[in-house]
Amino acid sequence: MKRIAVLAATTAALVAVPAGEALAKPRYAATITRTTFGIPHIEARDWRGVGYGVAYAYAEDNLCLLAEEFATVAGERSRFWGPAAKAVLGFEEVDNLSSDVFFRAVIDLPALREGAKTLSPRVQDLLAGYVAGYNRFLKDAGTEGIPAECRGKAWVRPITADDMLRMNEKQMLLASSLNLAPAIANAAPPGSPAPKVAINMPDPKELGIGSNGWAFGSEVTATGRGMLIGNPHFPWKGPSRFWQMHVKGPGGYEVMGVGLAGTPMPTLGFNKDVAWTHTVTEARHFTLYQLALDPADATRYMVDGKSEAMTPQTVTVPMPEGTPALTRTLYSTRWGPVFVVPSRGITWSAASAFALKDANRGNQRGIETWLRIGEAKKVGEVQAAISETLGIPWVNTIAADRFGDALHADITAVPNVGAEKAKACATPIAGLFAELAILLDGSKAACDWDKAPGTPVPGLMPASDQAATTVKTWLTNSNDSYWISNPAMPYRQLSPVLGRYATPRSLRTRSNFTETAALIAGGKIDHARAQAHAFANKSLAADMVMDDIGGLCVTPDPLPEAAVRGCKALASWDRRFEADSRGAALFRAFWPKAARLPGLWAVPFDPADPVNTPRTLATEGAKGEKLLAALGEAVAELDAAAIALDAPWGEVQRVVAGNDAIPIHGGPGTLGILNMQESVSVPGGLTPRHGTSYIQIVGFDDKGPVADAILSYSQSTNPASPHAHDQTRAYAAKQWHRLPFSAEAIAAETIAPPKRIAE
């Protein structure tokens, strides 16, 4: 059954091509071959065919998800699901009305259409092919072929080029403006009714956005070639799920990896010479501007002493049938849209307001950038691709090649605002925003972003002013700034736009450095050792504090009953988050409470020793009492959730698949766990919301790439698909899959006749 070869492919071609088209040269054509876990291998002779095949295969696995996302970016959620309902927008839940207003106001479709005319012919072909492939699937599926979850729904419809332009724009804004959608959608002049929805200004670190990436060079690998571990942390549900694909296109293009919903080719993966991954960068991709308003009119603002009118934009959002459409007017400035976050003091008063300028708004360069990365033969070409296009929106790039070079490049589309300008243009309240964004004085034209020669868009920071390192040893990133990719070689200080310098690193970053150093010290790295490294499930927080907690537990003074029970449960814990670890659930509940206590560490942070400081739990006197009280609170929390203190972690954190409960290892990154899983409460336990997703370990031999991978949440969101949970079970068992890249390997793993589609 697994060796269905050329005859089957020929037969499939004759069946799948519509009558009357077999003799004519098709405008769109692709062949889709599925292997173990339903991974599609898409082959096409041109870029139209690549997009065509990718869209068709993705729709086979995730039609309902993708159709809903096209409705989202079109600003139609209120119409189909009601204005008050919520859905995931980017990484957080947002009410449908705010989502619709945001997309209808912020996505400048006429400008995107004009910009699309300047895209390379192959990018235009890819997008056109994706539209055709998605629509072809709808035609082939018919009413009965649509999954039950979205069968007969009006929002499942053919798409146009505009839908792809909106989708791409949304992906570019995913870690910037999109997180402020309610803040923009509900901004109104003084005297207007107060917003009816909660508005936040989330910190990406609080969102759980993250990832780990490692690039190992020839000096530390068993083969003497480069090796990469990619461990992006992305949502388990919604359009930001990864999906595996292997694409073979024109000009020798051949890449295997993953993309998000609506992505027409892999954006993270490998070819025969280079492997790469991404981690969300700490760089800020927008700046905020504080406006001084015209005393005579709160919809006008002052720049260099002159009054300028804000630009009003009225958007109309369709409501469910029988309900009148809603109209809302938003305002924009030379700096971007006005926004409000009342909980943080960001309001629109008679005297001041705030606006946001986003470096990724209108960024249509990303697809070409990723195509160039996919064509790279060495990491230097990867760096050239991201540097010349500045098309990467919000992620670090970590890469290794067969020649033994390792790269970490924190080069993205960011505002060209240096330290001097940030200081000169700071307003009196700029310090209040320092952790989240750079606030500039909008009353001075000179506070606009600096223009540097050679950038694709004026005002972007050139790559030469950003961070990139290539070595033969190793580099890594776990979402902290460019400052340290390897403790032996800290980077020089750059613009504050690019992140924090000489400040405490997260526990996950510190765990990364500690565990990677131990990995290197243990000998040359091969696939088996890399696999164990990725799924070690150690908690640096536990390793740092459990001995001290144990000391508090043996005090001669009587302890509260809850603390006694907590001490007993933690005493036998292995300090890991394996499926069979007992006590992990209690520590997960305890540590966030303890970490908030003032004066937690006896040894403060030292920028000369960022890996090992701060450290040593402060337990004397009242501080110890507060730690035990936090432990008692954690016990009460688990009691209220009916979770046994010594329950195996895999019985607490799990995924329900039909009648089965799949145990999920890994835990929160805030506990210093590299295999991150951020979970939400469900009856009787927890289920993953965000964390380890597509994990790839890629090396090279004389023939090509050698890649092991797992997609933790599996390929399909269709519950009826055999590939809805198959890789989740593999992830639970730590069963890695050697990805089939060569023709021989693909033939050996083929699970169904190849499908030829054309029109």
Tokens of 457: 């868009």
Decide if 183 contacts 340 (C-beta within 8 A).
yes
Decide if 570 contacts 552 (C-beta within 8 A).
no
pLDDT, one tens digit per residue, over 538-558 is 999 999 999 999 999 998 788
Residues contacting residue 210 through CB under 8 Å, at least 6 positions apart:
233, 279, 280, 478, 479, 508, 669, 676
pLDDT, one tens digit per residue, over 394-421 is 999 999 999 999 999 999 999 999 999 9
pLDDT, one tens digit per residue, over 635-659 is 999 999 999 999 999 999 999 998 8
Decide if 677 contacts 606 (C-beta within 8 A).
no
Whether 387 sits among the annotated catalytic residues: the reply is no
Alpha-carbon distance of 478 to 178, in angstroms, equals: 22
The total number of structural domains in the chain stands at 2
Decide if 539 contacts 549 (C-beta within 8 A).
no
Q: Which of 37-51, 89-103, 641-655 has the lowest mean pLDDT?
A: 89-103
pLDDT, one tens digit per residue, over 140-190 is 999 999 999 999 999 999 999 999 999 999 999 988 899 899 999 999 999
Most trustworthy range by pLDDT among 335-349, 422-436, 581-595: 581-595
Indicate the residue among 648, 673, 698 that finishes a domain: 673
The pLDDT, as a whole number, for residue 22 is: 45
Indicate the residue among 176, 205, 234 that finishes a domain: 205
| 130 found inside a domain | yes
Sign of CA dihedral 219, 222, 228, 233: negative
The pLDDT, as a whole number, for residue 1 is: 38
Eight-state DSSP code of residue 690: E
- Rg (the chain; Cα; Å): 26
| 686 found inside a domain | no
| 123 found inside a domain | yes
CATH code for position 601: 1.10.1400.10
In angstroms, the Cα distances linking 188 to 29, 77, 142, 439 are 49, 22, 45, 20
202 band by pLDDT with thresholds 50, 70 and 90: low
Does this model's pTM top 0.85? My answer is yes
Alpha-carbon distance of 602 to 614, in angstroms, equals: 8
The pLDDT, as a whole number, for residue 195 is: 77
pLDDT at 79 over 70: yes
pLDDT, one tens digit per residue, over 217-262 is 999 999 999 999 999 999 999 899 999 999 999 999 999 999 999 9
- The domain in which residue 622 lies consists of 540-673
| 74 found inside a domain | yes
Concatenate the DSSP letters of all residues of 473-502 into one string: SEEEESSS-TT-SSTTSPPPP--GGG---S
Alpha-carbon distance of 427 to 396, in angstroms, equals: 30
Report the b/e string of 698-735 with b at 16+ CB within 10 A: bbbeeebbbbbbbbbbbbbbbeebebbbbbbebbbeee
Q: Which of 18-27, 441-450, 713-722, 728-737 has the lowest mean pLDDT?
A: 18-27
Instruction: Region of 31 please: left (phi>0), alpha (psi -120 to 50) or beta.
Output: beta
| 327 found inside a domain | no
Indicate the residue among 632, 657, 673 that finishes a domain: 673
The pLDDT, as a whole number, for residue 8 is: 36
Decide if 319 contacts 79 (C-beta within 8 A).
yes
pLDDT at 206 over 70: no
Tokens of 281: 């960068």
Q: Is the peptide bond before 614 cis (omega within 30 degrees of 0)?
A: yes
Of the candidates 23, 393, 351, 370, which has an alpha carbon nearest to the alpha carbon of residue 177?
A: 393
Q: How many CB atoms lie within 10 A of CB 323?
A: 12
Work out the average pLDDT over 619-645. Answer: 97
Across the chain, mean pLDDT equals 94
Sign of CA dihedral 667, 676, 724, 89: positive
| 165 found inside a domain | yes
| 494 found inside a domain | no
Q: How many CB atoms lie within 10 A of CB 294?
A: 18
Backbone angles phi, psi at 264, to 5 degrees: -85, 5
Residue with tokens 């280079």: 274
The pLDDT, as a whole number, for residue 751 is: 98
Decide if 264 contacts 126 (C-beta within 8 A).
yes
CATH code for position 57: 1.10.439.10
Decide if 727 contacts 242 (C-beta within 8 A).
no
Alpha-carbon distance of 459 to 462, in angstroms, equals: 9
| 131 found inside a domain | yes
Q: Catalytic one among 98, 211, 332, 511? A: 211
Residue with tokens 């230097």: 380
The pLDDT, as a whole number, for residue 13 is: 38
Question: Which value, to the nearest 10 degrees, does the dihedral of the CA atoms of residues 531, 532, 535, 541 take?
Answer: -140
Residue with tokens 């492919």: 9
